[in-house]
Homo-oligomer: A and B are copies of this chain.
């Protein structure tokens, strides 16, 4: 691990200084190699799938592990998309002349070395590698042991692509050992690693955050809200809330809690209740919403407990509360939410602006589904993860989140008086 760390630190200097052309060449070479390597990748992946099936992993886990031709084509296209994006490194912004005569601005630079710890999906290996290459960072990747053969095969393609472009293959290193102590070494080596990005279950992320001596960009809960205001287009609100809750239940940006203004509740709740019941979504309501929802044949509707307001279900369950004002809605979201993504459905401009400003979440939305909180949807090309932290990067983290700004001073011999 020490050798890996030192090699990464050394490679990071060359990655940071690499030309845009070389970085794009590596990305396009990687895309080509991914497409050419179909059979080799399939056989490496088959070993992982066989071992996983033998270990009794369930269907969804096997699905995530699978490197199908479609998954490979998607990640290859991802590399091409990132190659087509502007290079974030070296951009100087805000250069201004100061009374002393010096000009002061800021330059966007890579963070240096990031360590990524993730589970199952081997496509994350390519997503992380391609973001590292374009952002001029070196990275150390630690995938799940269940995907080790797939990841090793993918890492070989990355190293070959880097070499082809004249970049150091140590710019992207995969930890070949599946030993757990490697993670411990990775997160306690600030001399080799500048930031750790864990992706996986909440338990993994909490453990890494607690033990890491290196800053962590992390994603914890996604307890997302939709708030239906007093002034609102009911059809629009129905469409958006249904999409936010039911388009997919497992993503972190799916809505878990619905707040409805008292003036809208008597019309809105019976309508949405019927639609949710059709989709088999269980409703857990406050007493006022229960009275308005009424019993719906075949639907599970029950009283919400205090714990429900903080819950991230990731399942066909929705908590529902009637509120008396925009203030109450904002207060509820800031208190019980997880500062991830929250949306207001309203036709009142002032309310929309207050919600945007006062809800303290990484993504705040007006009249759009919380499911849009995603690096691709935001135009970042790809995301290395989603941050629920407040420092550095909030929300989807792409090329910019893997960089920071340093100060640049241009003088003609000025001195301080």
Chain A residues engaging chain B, CB cutoff 8 angstroms: 13, 16-17, 90, 96, 98, 100, 102, 104, 107, 109, 111-112, 194-195, 215, 217, 233, 236, 239-240, 243-244, 247, 334, 343, 354, 356-358, 360-369, 371-373, 377-379, 389-392, 394-396, 404-416
Contact = CB atoms under 8 A, between A and B. Distances in A.
Given A240-B415, A413-B233, A414-B368, A406 B361 contact: yes
Nearest to A374: B416
4 smallest CB-CB distances across A and B, nearest first, come from A368-B411, A243-B415, A371-B416, A236-B413
Given A358-B16, A407-B378, A240 B363 contact: no
Chain multiplicity (copies): 2
Given A98-B378, A358-B17, A409 B112 contact: no
Given A334-B13, A366-B409, A409-B366, A392 B416 contact: no
B357 A109 contact: yes
A217 B392 CA distance: 11
Contacts of A395: 406-407
Interface secondary structure of A, over-half rule: mixed
B357 A391 contact: no
Given A366-B410, A367-B414, A390-B404, 11 more contacts: A102-B368, A107-B364, A195-B390, A236-B413, A240-B413, A247-B416, A365-B410, A366-B409, A368-B411, A368-B413, A369-B414
Nearest to A417: B247
A353 B244 CA distance: 48
